[in-house]
Structure 1
């Protein structure tokens, strides 16, 4: 019993490192203002707005139409849809819009292939590449705010991706998860001088840089993770704009949630394995940003961390060991506090017993996602969107 208890305490100490890491950046995000865009830009850059769309017939037309509604000069941004496996009638409707549409078919479809194909076809000269998901809707001032931030000398800028729907308990929890990540991994990191995490969409890059780094990427899933690692390894800093919004559809049922997280976890493990050794080397070379990103890949998903701490807190009641109880309950309270201060008030008000009772189910779906992540190495696991 003594050996098991000691092992449990050692494991809790490891979890404590992760919990403390999240707490530090959550507090930093609270005490320091994030970058906003009240400045007047010196230059108006030309944007290529990419909308890769794989089997997204339900949402791509609305997204493409809404992408055209910006308060930025229309001559200075082009909307480019990459239509992968869309229905012929959808492609026909896209071609009626004042956008560029490329129809593609790949043996194995990936976002990286779609983007590389489109960039190889374009003849226009662009300053900025802006990447959206097929379901994303930009706020009308989104490009204007991105443009202003590039005046500060950044080559990579992440916008504030937020939920456009909270119409189910799963969607509410997904929206909360996204905002916690925004607060800790983006706002909190920038507050302490580290790069914002990228999120796969609502992100913009110096065009020449993006073309260059994407030529090295052919990831099946999680292309944004590989993009992060490669750019941070080069010493490039990513900014985050809290008041530049792009609205993203949150998953509305647990089955889709599991599929999406399977893809995400597979990417996390893959890039941790590929970058762990070089992350340690670059830490001693002074590249804290890259080493920090590798450490982030060690972090368990937030719901898994919460579930493990709840388990240990429950077990500690019967252990009879005071130190074990303090360690388990102290970490659980710390993590809950971290989540609380990282969640916007409007989302806190949406939490009911339905959302709380759903958490155990999502925990076990996360476990299943980990066990099934081998699927994501072989093919792209598509997350369907409805609205």
Structure 2
């Protein structure tokens, strides 16, 4: 039993310690302060929109309220399988509307279409937003300041804009936890921040060259790999908010997570052969990213740690009673690991957001979601190929 115990404990302990390290680091992160820009750059803002009739108009109209000079930014909406009346309403706005005509929709294809359809030499920065995203009026001004300081890749702080169901609350908390682990925590120790899929900004020339190589629905992970291979640092901007619509139903979050897991495993499979070269070149950022993609999904890890803690506690007590020994002590290290896991999952979230009745009620759904996530591990075939969009409710804040 001791051998089985340690075989299970060691890999889980490595996973927990990895997350705990960045969770602690995130508490010490202080975002860089960028001076006023010496020049104003031209910016292309891409809104890939796949069946997003409910939300795209509100998002675009909101973004048009930027305090950045109107003549220096262009909004490009890539309409994919949206209703004619939605497209007509978009055409009435001062934006560029592109209509997708490809089969097997994907965000990568939408972004490629956009970059092929505009004069990319006319822009210095490309911003990627989701169709349901909203942000503050100073978004582009802040991005311009950041890039004026020499940054070539930036990730804004995505946060939930709808907390109307238990599932959306959990989805929002999950995003904040990941912001701590993979963005502020990474930047705090000098590593590149992970991308979130939207609220991203890149140097236009670099993005134009790389977008044609995107192949999967995990385009943010493909972009991460490209950036890290080329040693391009991504800065996280915690004070620059992008409000993202969160999934509201169990079925929607299940499909979303299934696609994310497939994207992670796909990125790992593609990047792993490059690990020896990255090690030889001392590319710590890229090596760290590959290790990160080896981690199990957070809910699966949580279920594994808590489940095995329970199993070894009960087994240890039974053996102690039967043998009259101290076998129960085998569970001590598992309880320490469970405590570390809880600390890692709660440190990135501020107390006023975590300790609420709404969150307490939502946490009761975690076991059900964990079981769903474990089931998704056996249903990943083809999940990384297609465009998916959030199931939106009738009302949006």
Q: Which TM-score band (shorter chain)?
A: over 0.9
Task: Render the CA deviation track for 1:155-208: whole Å, top value 9, x for unaligned.
Answer: 101111111111111111111110011111100110100000001100000001
Alignment-derived partner of residue 39 in structure 2: 43
Q: For 1:89-100, list aligned pairs within 5 A.
A: 89-100=85-96
Matching of residue 337 in structure 1 with residue 343 in structure 2? yes
Q: CA-atom RMSD, angstroms?
A: 1.5
Aligned-pair CA distance for 1:36: 4.5
Could you list the runs of 4 or more consecutive aligned residues of structure 1 that deviate by over 6 angstroms after TM superposition?
A: none
Structure 2 contact 313–328 (Cα < 8 Å) conserved: no
Q: For 1:353-368, list aligned pairs within 5 A.
A: 353-368=360-375
Structure 1 contact 35–240 (Cα < 8 Å) conserved: no
User: Are the structure 2 counterparts of residues 346 and 97 from structure 1 closer, same or farther at C-alpha, using a change threshold of 3 Å?
Assistant: farther
Structure 1 contact 179–344 (Cα < 8 Å) conserved: no
**Matched residue of 1:52: which SS?**
strand
Q: For 1:45-124, list aligned pairs within 5 A.
A: 45-123=41-119
Structure 2 contact 186–192 (Cα < 8 Å) conserved: yes
Distance in 1 of aligned mates of 2:124 and 2:296 = 37
- Determine which structure has more spread, i.e. the larger CA radius of gyration: 2
Task: Give unpaired runs (5+ residues) of structure 1.
Answer: none
**Matched residue of 2:30: which SS?**
coil
Q: 1:239 aligns with which of 203, 225, 235?
A: 235
Q: 1:308 aligns with which of 304, 308, 311?
A: 304
Alignment-derived partner of residue 380 in structure 2: 373
Alignment-derived partner of residue 225 in structure 1: 221
TM-score (norm 2): 0.93
**Matched residue of 2:392: which SS?**
coil
Task: Give unpaired runs (5+ residues) of structure 2.
Answer: 317-326
Matching of residue 268 in structure 1 with residue 274 in structure 2? no
Matching of residue 385 in structure 1 with residue 382 in structure 2? no
Alignment-derived partner of residue 21 in structure 1: 18
Task: Render the CA deviation track for 1:127-152: whole Å, top value 9, x for unaligned.
Answer: 00000011000111111111111122
Structure 1 contact 9–324 (Cα < 8 Å) conserved: no
Structure 1 contact 222–264 (Cα < 8 Å) conserved: yes
TM-score (norm 1): 0.95
**Matched residue of 1:371: which SS?**
coil
Number of aligned residue pairs: 382
Aligned-pair CA distance for 1:278: 0.9
Structure 1 contact 36–242 (Cα < 8 Å) conserved: no
Aligned-pair CA distance for 1:378: 4.8
Alignment-derived partner of residue 151 in structure 1: 148
Structure 2 contact 107–387 (Cα < 8 Å) conserved: no
